[in-house]
Amino acid sequence: MFKGSLVALVTPMRADTSIDEAGMEAFIDWQISQGTQGLIPVGTTGESPTLTHEEHKRVVELTVATAAGRVPVIAGAGSNSTHEAIALARHAKQAGADGILVVTPYYNKPTQEGLFLHYSAIADAVDIPLIIYNIPGRSVVDMSVQTMARLAKHPNIVGVKDATANLTRPLHTTRDCGADFIQLSGEDHTALAFLAAGGVGCISVTANVAPRLCHEMHVAWQRGDIQAAMVIQERLLPLHDAMFCETNPGPVKYAASLLGHGSDVCRLPLAPVAESTRVQMRAAMVKAGLLN
Positions marked active-site: 133, 161
Distance of CA 83 to the CA centre of its chain: 23
Instruction: Report d(CA 19, CA 278) in Å as an integer.
Output: 23
Give 103's strand partners.
Answer: 133
Task: Measure CA 276 to chain center.
Answer: 26
Cis link prior to 155 (omega < 30° from 0)? no
Q: Which amino acid is at 225?
A: D
Query: Residues near 155 by Cβ (< 8 Å), separated by ≥ 6?
Result: none
* Residues with Cβ within 8 Å of residue 206, at least 6 apart in sequence: 188, 214, 236, 239, 240, 243, 252
Sheet strands (E) in 123-238: 130-134, 157-162, 182-185, 201-204
